[in-house]
Amino acid sequence: MSNLHFVETPAAGRLALMPAPQRADFRTMAKAGIALVVSLLPVAEAERLALAAEARLCRQAGFDFVNFPIADFAVPEDFGAAAALVGAIADQLAGGDAVAIHCRAGIGRSGMFASAVLVALGETPDAAMAAVSAARGCDVPETEAQRAWVRDFAAYAAERVTAGG
């Protein structure tokens, strides 16, 4: 069974969330056409999960790699940087690329980020979280703070559209 959980999106590309990848998952991601892997693991957590070399493994498999560390059960510390990454992921999906987002279990942080990407693509926060929950097979994001962050991101995105930016 694949660890990739694909989310229905309005974009041409494919969005997946997943738990921290094991060696075999890199082959699965390659077969699925993943172009970008986004890790939300802080360095110490990645090391504990034997993923210290994930950037190199991704490059060897032909994927782009971005690490955007968020503490377990938490939300991004830098809202602007997180919003910029969400926008970049949405742009890649709109361009037809496949993107995989992961944290440790592929539920809380990944669910929050995937939901925000759907919001950036035009979904409401509740519809986005419902779509990601359906794909993941459990309620995501994991914490109320993460769900609130998705709603805050939606308000931020709406303000930017209203302001013309």
**119-136, pLDDT tens digit by residue?**
999 999 999 999 999 999
> What's the Cα-to-Cα distance from 45 to each of 49, 62, 70, 78, 104, rounded to whole Å?
6, 24, 10, 19, 8
pLDDT at 69 over 60: yes
| Amino acid symbol at 120 | A
Residue 160 pLDDT = 77
Going from N- to C-terminal start, the domains of the chain cover 5-164
Residue 163 pLDDT = 65
**29-43, pLDDT tens digit by residue?**
999 999 999 999 999
pLDDT at 161 over 70: no
**81-121, pLDDT tens digit by residue?**
999 999 999 999 999 999 999 999 999 999 999 999 999 99
Cis peptide, bond prior to residue 141, ω within 30 of zero: yes
Residue 164 pLDDT = 62
pTM, rounded to two decimals: 0.95
Distance CA 3, CA 141 (A): 17
CATH code reported for the domain at 5-164: 3.90.190.10
Distance CA 25, CA 2 (A): 8
Residue 159 pLDDT = 87
Distance CA 119, CA 73 (A): 20
In angstroms, the first-to-last Cα distance of the chain is 42
